[in-house]
């Protein structure tokens, strides 16, 4: 207490008295925070060891020519070539990188849009006070409890061209088989179809936000004669924009990093449609063992995601966080 | 308050400890753990699959009995030599003293200096005279694809970077029970057989299965799961042999271009598609079909044969159908063996006042492995066909998995060396192979192997192949 008083006294002017100037961090203060620091230390160490240091190492690798075969000098000279190579069409990798980026962005844009609209509509329906609505909420959420890879393998079996249940049923009704993940041309529609079963996760978030909207707003709107559509546009959507913002950002990041859900499904036929950018990075590193280039591709993705996130934050004036001073 | 602080520290300590314990999970497998004080310690890395451990354990037991002052430490490095090396290039001290390596993965690493040239060791004793071994297998251990004694050349590219342990020829394993049940005669292949004869046999099997499926027999539904052969075209030893047997000069020309679309190779791919892929019951896509008794034949190399025995007792071997039009038979033959890591080669160990270099200790063990005694021990496991020519006709390897079986299949014809990629820089080869594997996998798919669909896949394969060459 004495130290804090001393700090206050030595600060100049009225700013310190208003608490605008940070207090000097004292030994006593550190002793007081020690327990908390110890609690967060494992997480900090974990982030440092498993995230920050590997990030720095990968940045270092991405600017070097790496030849693991060269025993004396595996990490060679400084070079920009790993970055230039991905944008060179001749003697470079632009064809493959641009294809991966295209299918990744197409996947992100379409699945994020469809999933947000679909799960929002689902939440609107499940927000009603109907008998047994809880059971519907559970049923829609259940698929989200299945791990991504397990879910993928499950769907791969169900949609197998020759032995999958869906094709067996189609054949039973005299309909032709559908190739699902087997053929490149049917991969993307199949992804969209299977995506429906992942709507439950976002639906729960929308529901939580919708439940927070004060009922008085709707009562007032009813008195003013606003119909349901008007209430949706003027009350529900504006009051859930903070969740729109959150789900938009996390969905875009997740979609741009898509990997585990589709990696087990890749074969020679559908690779052109499933070679998402993270899958390309993985193959570059662990199949081709081209470490430096894989690191450079990772940083490209990092910059893309970072820029997109920053852009969304920058243009987030439409988000309503409740009454603010 | 004090209790709260102590508790905080304890919990945090436990969490921190857990974090470090987790990091230790990935600790190097070739550290000092398992070293015995008072003995010379040699670490040997082997691959998990193909029974590498079984062979080494048998050799280790006998060697340690004869050399009580030596401790051989065996450690697995996972499934792939190339992956293991790639994971450790920044941590080279993690490499073991001796590494098992296959002939199709070592070249880049050998040319980069990771392994000792063993020629001076071979040439230091009559016991390891080159004449004792198949010359072609010695060629496999040189990254130029052609080994030369030091008296002929001291150039590194002609060096020997592993001591070949086995003579690995591709053969066809057959399920005798299925042949008997479907009344199909096993062909007489004592004088070799051609790919066309093999395709004709597949035709016959396909017809018999079709007949069964369309019958009213109680097992007609089960018959729909049967297939004629697991051929595995994407395996280098299979495609090299098949293309050669059908009159091709190879899939890569002398300038390093992929020539899968030239006249001869196109015709071969057409034949393959029409004869094997585009049929209902010919091509199996799963190796385990044969093990489960659902496939009449499969391509195998020796280590796999032992595994098959545990599944299927009534099997036999036929030579690979590689007889050419002019009557010659050349069958893809590779080998694997043990190399000495350069990282620890000059380390010294002293036991009872006697100091020895790791490379000398390592060579002494390898020399034992390739000696007649060592080769018989390896052969007895059934996992290895000896690299010593003297054991070809009557070694113990012939008795290990059924003396009555046709072991001559493993010796049939001449050796066809797997040199498709030797035209390229050794450090590029492992990057090029996956693109060709990918192409052949596609070719084995009924939907994509046809002539009209092939062009797109080939174009993509060539692009990837060319891009990999530049990197």
- Mutation for A interface: B82, B90, B441, most A CBs within 10 A: B90
Q: Cβ distance B43 to B98 under 8 Å? A: yes
pLDDT tens per residue across span A87-99: 988 767 888 899 9
Select the residue of A69, A269, A291 nearest B108 (Cβ to Cβ).
A69
In chain A, what percentage of residues exceed pLDDT 70? 92
CA distance A59 to A298: 9
DSSP conformational letter for B409:
G
Please name which of A36, A27, A34, A35 lies closest in space to residue A4, comparing C-alpha atoms.
A27
At residue B16, the pLDDT reads 56
Question: Contacts for A242-250 with beta carbons within 8 Å, 24 or more apart?
Answer: A242/A209, A242/A319, A242/A320, A242/A321, A242/A322, A243/A205, A243/A206, A243/A208, A243/A209, A244/A116, A244/A319, A245/A312, A245/A316, A245/A319, A246/A205, A247/A116, A247/A202, A247/A205, A247/A206, A248/A112, A248/A116, A248/A312, A249/A309, A249/A312
Ramachandran region of residue A188, left (φ > 0), alpha (ψ -120 to 50) or beta?
Answer: alpha
For chain A, positions 87-106, list CB contacts with chain B under 8 A.
Answer: 91-93, 95-96
At residue A9, the pLDDT reads 43
Q: First CA to last CA across chain A, in angstroms?
A: 33
Q: Which residue did the predictor score with more confidence, B439 or A162?
A: B439
Cα-Cα-Cα-Cα dihedral sign, residues B436, B440, B441, B447: positive
- Mutation for A interface: B89, B106, B456, most A CBs within 10 A: B89
Minimal C-alpha gap between B367 and chain A (Å): 26
Q: Tell me if chain B has a CB within 8 Å of the CB of A293.
A: yes
- Mutation for B interface: A98, A160, A163, A268, most B CBs within 10 A: A268
Segments of chain B scoring below 70 in pLDDT: 1-29, 312-313, 471
**Least reliable range by pLDDT among A1-10, A14-23, A300-309, B100-109:** A1-10
Strand B168-169 and strand B163-164: the pairing is: unpaired
* Cross-chain residue pair B460–A38, CB shorter than 8 Å: no
B470: number of Cβ within 10 Å: 12
At residue A4, the pLDDT reads 46
- Interface size, chain A vs chain B, as Cβ–Cβ contacts under 8 Å: 89
Minimal C-alpha gap between A125 and chain B (Å): 43
User: pLDDT band for position A19 (50/70/90)?
Assistant: low
Q: Cβ distance B295 to B175 under 8 Å? A: yes
For chain B, positions 315-344, list CB contacts with chain A under 8 A.
Answer: 342-343
Asked if the model's pLDDT at residue A32 lies above 90, the reply is no
CA distance A104 to A121: 25
Cβ contacts of B437 on chain A, cutoff 8 Å: none
Q: Cβ distance B275 to B199 under 8 Å? A: yes
Beta carbons within 8 Å of A253's beta carbon, 6+ residues apart: A305, A309
SS3 content of chain A, % helix, strand, coil (to 5): 70, 0, 30
Cβ contacts of A41 on chain B, cutoff 8 Å: 12, 15-16
* Cross-chain residue pair B19–A182, CB shorter than 8 Å: no
Q: Tell me if chain B has a CB within 8 Å of the CB of A273.
A: no
Q: Tell me if chain B has a CB within 8 Å of the CB of A34.
A: yes
CA distance B257 to B234: 18
Q: Tell me if chain B has a CB within 8 Å of the CB of A287.
A: yes
Minimal C-alpha gap between B460 and chain A (Å): 10
Distance of CA B228 to the CA centre of its chain: 24
Number of separate helices (H) and strands (E) present in chain B: 17, 14
CA distance B40 to B68: 9
Beta carbons within 8 Å of A212's beta carbon, 6+ residues apart: A239
Mean pLDDT computed over A65-72: 92
* Cross-chain residue pair A287–B434, CB shorter than 8 Å: yes
Q: Tell me if chain A has a CB within 8 Å of the CB of B225.
A: no
At residue B5, the pLDDT reads 66
CA distance A148 to A263: 11
Q: Tell me if chain B has a CB within 8 Å of the CB of A322.
A: no
At residue B313, the pLDDT reads 67
Select the residue of B4, B19, B434 nearest A45 (Cβ to Cβ).
B19
Complex ipTM more than 0.90, yes or no: no
B95 class by beta-carbon count within 10 Å (0-12 exposed, 13-18 middle, 19+ buried): buried
Ramachandran region of residue B306, left (φ > 0), alpha (ψ -120 to 50) or beta?
Answer: alpha
Asked if the model's pLDDT at residue A1 lies above 80, the reply is no
CA distance A270 to A272: 5
Mean pLDDT of chain A: 87
* Cross-chain residue pair A39–B467, CB shorter than 8 Å: no
Q: Which residue did the predictor score with more confidence, B178 or A184?
A: B178
Alpha helix ranges (H) inside B152-217: 176-181, 195-213
Q: Cβ distance B432 to B107 under 8 Å? A: no
User: pLDDT band for position A20 (50/70/90)?
Assistant: low
Mean pLDDT computed over A310-316: 93
- Tell me the two tokens of residue B437: 């594997």
Number of separate helices (H) and strands (E) present in chain A: 18, 2
- Tell me the two tokens of residue B349: 């160990």
């Amino acid at each position: 207490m004495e130290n804090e008083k001393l700090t206050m006294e030595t600060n100049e002017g009225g700013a310190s008295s208003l608490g605008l100037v940070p207090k000097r961090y004292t030994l006593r203060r550190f002793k007081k925070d020690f327990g908390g620091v110890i609690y967060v230390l494992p997480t900090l160490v974990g982030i440092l060891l498993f995230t920050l240091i590997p990030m720095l190492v990968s940045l270092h690798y991405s600017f070097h020519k790496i030849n693991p075969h060269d025993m004396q000098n595996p990490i060679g000279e400084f070079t920009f070539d790993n970055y230039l190579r991905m944008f060179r069409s001749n003697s470079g990798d632009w064809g493959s990188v641009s294809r991966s980026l295209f299918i990744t962005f197409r996947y992100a844009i379409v699945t994020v849009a469809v999933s947000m609209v679909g799960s929002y509509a689902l939440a609107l329906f499940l927000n009603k006070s109907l008998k047994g609505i809880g059971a519907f909420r559970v049923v829609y959420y259940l698929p989200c409890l299945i791990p991504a890879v397990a879910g993928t393998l499950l769907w791969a079996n169900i949609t197998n061209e020759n032995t999958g249940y869906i094709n067996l049923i189609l054949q039973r009704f005299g309909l032709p088989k559908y190739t699902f993940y087997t053929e490149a041309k049917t991969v993307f529609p199949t992804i969209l179809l299977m995506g429906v079963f992942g709507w439950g996760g976002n639906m729960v978030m929308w529901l939580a936000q919708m439940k927070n909207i004060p009922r008085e707003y709707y009562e007032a709107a009813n008195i003013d004669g606003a119909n349901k559509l008007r209430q949706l546009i003027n009350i529900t959507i504006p009051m859930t924009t903070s969740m729109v913002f959150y789900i938009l950002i996390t969905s875009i990041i997740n979609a741009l990093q898509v990997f585990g859900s589709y990696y087990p499904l890749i074969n020679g036929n559908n690779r052109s449609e499933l070679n998402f950018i993270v899958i390309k990075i993985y193959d570059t590193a662990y199949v081709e063992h081209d470490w430096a280039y894989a690191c450079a591709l990772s940083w490209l993705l990092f910059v893309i995601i970072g820029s997109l996130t920053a852009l969304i934050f920058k243009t987030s004036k439409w988000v309503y966080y409740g009454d603010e001073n | 308050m004090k209790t709260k602080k102590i508790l905080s520290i304890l919990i945090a300590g436990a969490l921190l400890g857990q974090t470090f314990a987790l990091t230790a999970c990935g600790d190097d497998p070739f550290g000092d753990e398992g070293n015995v004080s008072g003995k010379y310690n040699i670490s040997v890395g082997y691959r998990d699959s193909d029974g590498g451990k079984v062979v080494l354990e048998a050799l280790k037991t006998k060697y340690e009995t004869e050399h009580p002052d030596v401790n051989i430490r065996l450690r697995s490095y996972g499934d792939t030599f190339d992956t293991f090396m790639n994971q450790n290039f920044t941590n080279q001290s993690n490499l073991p003293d001796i590494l098992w390596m296959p002939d199709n993965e070592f070249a880049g690493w050998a040319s980069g200096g990771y392994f000792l040239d063993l020629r001076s060791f071979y040439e230091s004793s009559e016991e390891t005279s080159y004449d004792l071994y198949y010359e072609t297998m010695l060629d496999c251990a040189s990254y130029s694809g052609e080994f030369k004694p030091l008296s002929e050349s001291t150039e590194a590219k002609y060096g020997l970077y592993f001591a070949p342990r086995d003579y690995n020829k591709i053969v066809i394993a057959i399920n005798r029970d299925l042949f008997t049940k479907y009344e199909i005669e096993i062909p007489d292949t004592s004088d070799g057989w051609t790919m066309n004869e093999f395709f004709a046999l597949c035709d016959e099997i396909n017809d018999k299965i079709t007949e069964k499926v369309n019958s009213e027999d109680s097992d007609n539904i089960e018959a729909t799961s049967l297939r004629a052969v697991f051929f595995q075209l994407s395996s280098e030893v299979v495609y090299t042999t098949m293309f050669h047997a059908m009159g091709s000069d190879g899939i890569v020309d002398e300038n390093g271009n992929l020539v899968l679309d030239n006249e001869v190779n196109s015709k071969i791919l057409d034949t393959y598609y029409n004869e094997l892929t585009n049929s209902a019951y010919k091509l199996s896509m799963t190796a385990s079909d044969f093990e489960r008794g659902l496939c009449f034949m499969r391509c195998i190399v020796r280590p796999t044969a032992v595994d098959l025995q545990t599944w299927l007792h009534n099997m036999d071997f036929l030579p690979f159908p590689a007889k050419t039009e002019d009557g010659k038979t050349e069958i893809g033959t590779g080998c694997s063996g043990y190399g000495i890591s350069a990282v620890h080669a000059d380390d010294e160990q002293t036991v009872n006042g006697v100091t020895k270099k790791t490379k000398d200790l390592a060579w002494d063990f390898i020399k034992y492995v390739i000696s007649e005694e060592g080769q018989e021990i390896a052969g007895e496991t059934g996992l290895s066909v000896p690299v010593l020519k003297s054991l070809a006709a009557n070694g113990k390897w012939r008795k290990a998995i059924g003396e009555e079986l046709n072991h001559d299949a493993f010796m049939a014809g001449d050796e066809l060396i797997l040199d498709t990629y030797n035209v390229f820089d050794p450090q590029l080869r492992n990057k090029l192979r996956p693109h060709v594997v990918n192409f052949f996998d596609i070719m084995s798919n009924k939907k994509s192997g046809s002539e009209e669909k092939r062009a797109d896949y080939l174009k993509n394969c060539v692009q990837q192949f060319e891009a990999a060459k530049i990197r």
